């Protein structure tokens, strides 16, 4: 996957998957928050290193995951 697709996947997890996981089971909130921070750090590193990774304009990967 190129950096754009990976960035979109991270965004999808942060906005869609993780909030639902927290709402489904409040006992895992601490773990979800920890994972969220790691994903945010990864996204930041991707932005810093984007010149080394192939970036496409828009990825279909996230849409395929959402529709599955």
Percentage above 90 pLDDT, the chain: 31
Mean pLDDT of 50-57: 58
CA 21 to chain centre: 14
- pTM of the full structure: 0.66
Residue 58's domain is classified under what CATH number? Answer: 1.20.1250.10
Q: Predicted confidence band at 34 (pLDDT cuts at 50, 70, 90)?
A: very high
Domain coverage including residue 10: 3-67
The count of structural domains within the chain is 1
C-alpha angle 44-46-50 in degrees, rounded to nearest 5: 130
pLDDT above 70 for 35? yes
* Range in 20-24, 39-43, 58-62 the model is least confident about: 58-62
Q: Do 61 and 5 touch, CB atoms closer than 8 A? A: yes
């Amino acid at each position: 996957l190129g950096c754009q697709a990976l960035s979109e996947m991270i965004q999808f997890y942060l906005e869609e998957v993780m909030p639902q996981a927290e709402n489904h089971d409040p006992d895992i909130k601490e773990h979800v928050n920890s994972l969220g921070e790691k994903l945010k750090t990864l996204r930041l590193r991707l932005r810093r290193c984007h010149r080394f990774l192939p970036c496409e304009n828009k990825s279909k990967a996230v849409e395929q995951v959402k529709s599955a």
